[in-house]
């Protein structure tokens, strides 16, 4: 999952996004989705979201928590 399908992204989902000013260097910022801003079902550059921290960016990766108990995370590509 690479963040281009809106149905995969819901409030509360942990994601990595790229902000507009970080597109060239490709710097990713991790956070939890507060709002999904893209209205269309898909977007070739990633679904635009607002994180709980207020950061707005396009989703590049979804992060799936395998075990909250042990704190292990797996990044889906």
> What is the pLDDT, as a whole number, of residue 74?
56
> What is the pLDDT, as a whole number, of residue 69?
44
- CA atoms of 37 and 77, how far apart (whole Å): 21
> What is the pLDDT, as a whole number, of residue 9?
95
Each of the 77 residues of the chain gets a pLDDT tens digit; together they read 577 899 999 999 999 999 999 999 999 999 999 999 999 999 999 999 999 999 999 999 999 866 444 445 555 55
**Residues whose CB falls within 8 Å of the CB of residue 38, separated by 6 or more in sequence, listed in order:** 6, 47, 48, 49
User: 48: helix, coil or strand?
Assistant: strand
> What is the pLDDT, as a whole number, of residue 30?
97
> What is the pLDDT, as a whole number, of residue 64?
81
């Amino acid at each position: 999952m690479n963040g281009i399908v809106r149905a995969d992204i819901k409030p509360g989902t942990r994601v990595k996004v790229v902000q507009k000013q970080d597109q060239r260097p490709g710097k990713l910022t991790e956070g939890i989705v507060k709002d999904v801003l893209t209205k269309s079902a898909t977007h070739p550059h990633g679904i635009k979201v607002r994180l709980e921290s207020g950061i707005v960016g396009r989703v590049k990766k979804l992060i799936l928590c395998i075990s909250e108990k042990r704190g292990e995370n797996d990044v889906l590509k």
